[in-house]
Amino acid sequence: MADYRLCAFADEASPMIDGQIEAMKRNGVGLLEIRGVDGVNIADITVEKAKSVRKKLDGEGIGVWSLGSPYGKINIKDDFKAHLDRFRHGLELCSVLGCGRIRLFSFYVDGNTGDTVFDEVCDRLARFSEEAKSARIVLCHENEKGIFGEKAADCLRIHKALPEIKAVFDPANFVQAGEDTVKAMDLLSPYLDYMHIKDALRGSGEIVPAGCGDGSVERLLGVFKKGVLTVEPHLRVFAGLENLEQSGEKSSIGNAYRTSDEAFDAAVSAIKRIINQ
């Protein structure tokens, strides 16, 4: 029997932590993948701010699952020293927030996935890994458009070289990269730690609620039957939608929603329908 825990990037409901807490409680989501706090990227908040956030979350019974960081989302040609220092600050934030994971990336490589670039990617990721190991933090690599690990085969190269780095599987990103998500799951499932719940349409790349696109979310969950699912809505908000509706009518244009809260609720509802069917 499937056994999931729901998590979310609640900064898509509100940039403010109070609004994020409200959205999570409204939807029965108990874990936060923390990415933005009161309009500031998680990597840039102070330790004192993190302590304040932790106190609020603890008071509401919400845990921080992962630091939804931007680490590794720089060009492979960029200076790494300053980026590594920023990463070390993230490890300190993890300690304060009580989370045991950091989501990261494998660098923009301008489409070059040759052996020289691969070696440099692995060298940098290994530096992250060394720092994380001493802090007892699990690093989780996300497949993202434009980075070295955009394609499943290149993600696999990373995990085979650095098996201590786990995988965050994002179906929508693989769809947008032209990958077959089921085949990608077959390759990466031995390294999978958790999933991002985001779906997309092949061709246009438009993000849609889970189960409404070409990410084969239901089939993927047939493989990943237990663990954490982080809802990442990325749905369009069209503030002028209400002007196109008649009184009392509720419509949509494509997958657009009137507010960020409405989009967030729709994204959570979509994955709940799948896992509860």
Q: Apex CA 263: angle with CA 257 and CA 264, to 5°?
A: 170
Give the model confidence (pLDDT) of 167-224 as tens digits: 999 999 999 999 999 999 999 999 999 999 999 999 999 999 999 999 999 999 999 9
User: Looking at the domain assignment, is residue 272 inside a domain?
Assistant: no
Instruction: Among 18-27, 105-114, 237-246, name the one with the lowest average pLDDT.
Output: 237-246
The mean pLDDT of 134-154, rounded to a whole number, is: 97
pTM of the model: 0.93
Confidence grade of residue 82 (pLDDT, cut at 50, 70, 90): very high
266: in domain = no
Number of domains in the chain: 1
pLDDT tens profile 29-47: 999 999 999 999 999 999 9
Specify if 252 maps to a domain.
no
- Please report, for the domain that includes residue 34, its CATH number: 3.20.20.150
More confident position, 251 or 38:
38
State the number of CA atoms in the 13 A half-sphere of 122 facing the CB.
18
Whole-angstrom Cα distance, residue 174 to residue 202?
10
Residue 238: the pLDDT is 77
Q: Hey, is 141 helix, strand or coil? A: strand
Q: Indicate whether 7 pLDDT > 60.
A: yes
3-state DSSP call for residue 16? coil
Q: What is the mean pLDDT of the chain?
A: 94
DSSP characters for 83-139? Answer: HHHHHHHHHHHHHHHT--EEEE---B-TT--SHHHHHHHHHHHHHHHHHHHHHT-EE
Residue span of the structural domain in which 83 resides: 3-235
Per residue in 89-122, pLDDT tens? 999 999 999 999 999 999 999 999 999 999 999 9
- Asked if the model's pLDDT at residue 249 lies above 50, the reply is no
Average pLDDT (237-260) is: 61
Residue 234 has pLDDT above 70, yes or no: yes
Of 84, 68, 92, the closest CA to residue 194 belongs to: 68
3-state secondary structure 41-87: EHHHCCHHHHHHHHHHHHHCCCEEEEEECCCCCCECCCCCHHHHHHH
Q: Is residue 256 part of a domain?
A: no
The stretch 220-248 carries a mean pLDDT of: 79
Asked if the structure places residue 253 within a domain, the reply is no
